[in-house]
Structures are given as C-alpha cells and as structure tokens.
A = this chain, B = another copy of it.
Amino acid sequence: MTNHLAALFRHLTVGVYVVGVAQGERRNAFTAAWIMQASFDPLLLVLSVNPQNASYPLLCESGAFVVTVLKAHQLELARHFGTPSLGSRDKLATVQWQPGRSGAPILRDGLAYFDCDITARMRTGDHELVIARVVDGGILDQGASPLVYGATGDMDGSAALYPAAL
C-alpha cells in the first residue's frame, strides 16, 4: 500500500549511499539517502541521520564519516547495509573495503567516495543534520551510473513512516 505522502516525497530526487564510521577498532556502515552538498567554499556535505541508528554513536565519537556512492545495480548492497545488525553480525565482513582517514570503511566496489570531517550537528525533527567538510574523495568507477533512491521501491519500508495527512 502506498501512502499518499510517501508518494509525494518520492518526487524529491536523492541518491543511495553507504555511510561508514569507525572509532579505533570499532566500525560500522549503514545505507542513507538523505545526503547532499551544502557549500562550495568550504566544500561541505549535509547528512540527515536518525539518532537511533546503530552507527550514530560512532559517528559522533569519531567526528568523521565516509560516504560511498552506490551504483545503479547495487540494490542488494543497499539492502544489506540498510538492514540493522542483529547481535554480533559484522555487515562489513562480506564486502571489500578500505579505510578512509578516520578508519571508516569505503566500499571498494562503489561509484565514488567522500571522506568527511564533521563540523556541526543540528537536531532537525526526528533526525539530526550532520554538516561535514569533505577532506578527501574520488571516483572509483569512471562512467558508471548512480543508484537513485526512487529505484529502490519501498525497500527500506519508509512509506510506513509518513503520516496519513499533512
């Protein structure tokens, strides 16, 4: 069942990303769609993150994260990192990754990556806006196309999170 407001908000175009975090030997990664550029000088990104996310404490403690841009065919990878970890399951055990400057995992099979240092955080409704400076980045697969959030259907179950009316 498609909620009317869920359908409306799908008209805002966003991509699909895996956000990696690390602090010491602890690391994690999660799928996110609410990421965009926010400034040219300095080069800043903004990420809207749910503070209930299992990776949120590592994000705050380390003050850093990496963003891997997913490719059009990587729907399963989006689902893999979009499913909360249960118990000791390490979501990173089954993928190739390399550490960014903070140790946070960049997925080697991604389209591009951005390595970011957090500069500010701001509570915004049920999420938090995390502003971050891009300190490193690169294209991992020249010419490939990005996965667009609208192509994931209701994989993340977000349609149920919209109210019935404004």
- Hey, which bits of chain A sit against chain B, CB under 8 A? 5, 7-9, 11-15, 34-46, 48, 69, 111-112, 114, 120, 122, 124-127, 129, 131, 134-139, 146, 148-149, 158, 161-163, 166
Report the separation of the CA atoms of residues A13 and B73 in the bound assembly, to the nearest whole angstrom.
15
List 23 A-B pairs, Cβ < 8 Å. Answer: A5-B137, A8-B114, A11-B69, A11-B111, A12-B15, A13-B14, A13-B148, A14-B14, A38-B125, A38-B129, A39-B126, A40-B126, A40-B158, A40-B161, A40-B162, A41-B163, A43-B163, A46-B48, A46-B124, A122-B129, A122-B131, A129-B129, A137-B166
In angstroms, how far is the closest chain B Cβ from the Cβ of A40?
4
> In the complex the two chains form, is B39's CB within 8 Å of A127's CB?
yes
Report the separation of the CA atoms of residues A161 and B37 in the bound assembly, to the nearest whole angstrom.
13
Report the separation of the CA atoms of residues A34 and B38 in the bound assembly, to the nearest whole angstrom.
7
> In the complex the two chains form, is B139's CB within 8 Å of A39's CB?
no
Q: Which residues of B contact A125 (CB under 8 A)?
A: 38-44
- List the number of copies, as a whole number: 2
Which secondary structure dominates chain A's binding surface?
strand
Q: Which of B43, B129, B135, B166 contacts A43 (CB 8 A)?
A: B166
Q: Which residues of B contact A13 (CB under 8 A)?
A: 13-15, 146, 148-149
Report the separation of the CA atoms of residues A154 and B111 in the bound assembly, to the nearest whole angstrom.
21
Report the separation of the CA atoms of residues A162 and B40 in the bound assembly, to the nearest whole angstrom.
6
Report the separation of the CA atoms of residues A166 and B8 in the bound assembly, to the nearest whole angstrom.
37
In addition to A11-B112, A39-B126, 5 A-B residue pairs with Cβ atoms within 8 Å of each other are A11-B139, A13-B14, A39-B125, A129-B129, A129-B131
